[in-house]
Amino acid sequence: MRFRRQLAEPEESIELNLIPLIDIIMFLLIFFISTTSFIEEPGVQVEKPRAASARQTDKNSIIFAVTSDGKVAYGGKEIGLGGVRPTVKRLCAREKLPVVIQADKDSNSGLVINVIDEAKLGGAKDVNLATDKS
């Protein structure tokens, strides 16, 4: 005796609801975008000196670059020494941010001191010099 399986149409059609899946994907996308921190690197190439006590700094910091030929840059654009204080004042208007100076190892120390001074006068929370870990 052979039994035959009878395939019948289900009473209700099967439908896949994608709305909860889209909601979860949007939630994950918003979560990853809001928790990702972007570090703004100056577009100027500097060769930082090495230091044994080098450590990681805050993600939210103002980064200036001082090149070996005496140029001061912020965000890849040359701003000069006179642009340091207004830039720090503008960026520290809401909250005090630390300043990181990436000075080339062959740069003029007097210029680096002037940049540190201008950053402090602009209202920076802390002023640090960037180095590579040796």
Q: For the chain, list the domains and their CATH numbers.
A: 50-133 (3.30.420)
Mean pLDDT of 50-73: 75
Give the span between the Cα atoms of 63 and 102, in whole angstroms: 7
Identify the band that residue 111 occupies on the pLDDT scale cut at 50, 70 and 90: very high
Give the span between the Cα atoms of 91 and 63, in whole angstroms: 11
Give the span between the Cα atoms of 87 and 109, in whole angstroms: 21
pTM: predicted TM-score of the whole model, two decimal places: 0.58
Identify the band that residue 2 occupies on the pLDDT scale cut at 50, 70 and 90: low
* pLDDT top residue among 31 and 54: 31
The answer on pLDDT for 52 being more than 60 is no
